[in-house]
Amino acid sequence: MRISVSSDMDEPVARTLVDELRARGHEVAVHGALSPGADPQWAVCSEAAAREVAAGTADQAVVCCWTGTGASIAANKVPGVRAALCTDAYTADGARRWNDANVLALSLRLTSAPLLKEILDAWFTAEASEDAEDRENVARVGRLDTGRA
């Protein structure tokens, strides 16, 4: 799977994230502070990662900033992106399962290496629900991108 990763700061958890994704066999594209010379502003690098998902050049993305909030807001402005700020494995599982989230947002401040691995385990294990109500909710969110909800 190709995963686009962005971070506005070159923090240990961001580097651990990239290493962990590669160790799990994913191809990783990096943006922001993780890519020398790239613009590290959270809005810029989160948008870049999200646009790769929307364009289909990345299967998913992980966007990071100090709280994770700004990164998730920026990513969610890109049509076709469903970014979820996850601070625990249960939330990551639910975001993938019920919301069919395609972008994981993480806090650089709150996410430790062990917690990161739990969140990634949940994120990559969960599959989107096939329940009709869940699918309709996801479809409605998609229609919000076009203004035809």
Residues 6+ away with beta carbon under 8 Å from 35: none
pLDDT in tens, 55-80: 999 999 999 999 999 999 999 999 99
Residue 149 — very low, low, confident or very high, per pLDDT cuts 50/70/90?
A: low
pLDDT in tens, 106-144: 999 999 999 999 999 999 999 998 999 999 999 899 888
Catalytic residues: 65
Mean pLDDT, rounded, for 25-50: 97
* pTM (two decimals): 0.95
DSSP-derived 3-state class of residue 115: helix
Q: How far apart are CA 102 and CA 99, in angstroms?
A: 9
Q: How far apart are CA 94 and CA 48, in angstroms?
A: 25
Burial of 140 (0-12, 13-18, 19+ CB in 10 A): exposed
Structural domains in the chain plus CATH codes: 2-144 (3.40.1400.10)
| Contact call for residues 4 and 58 (beta carbons, < 8 A) | yes
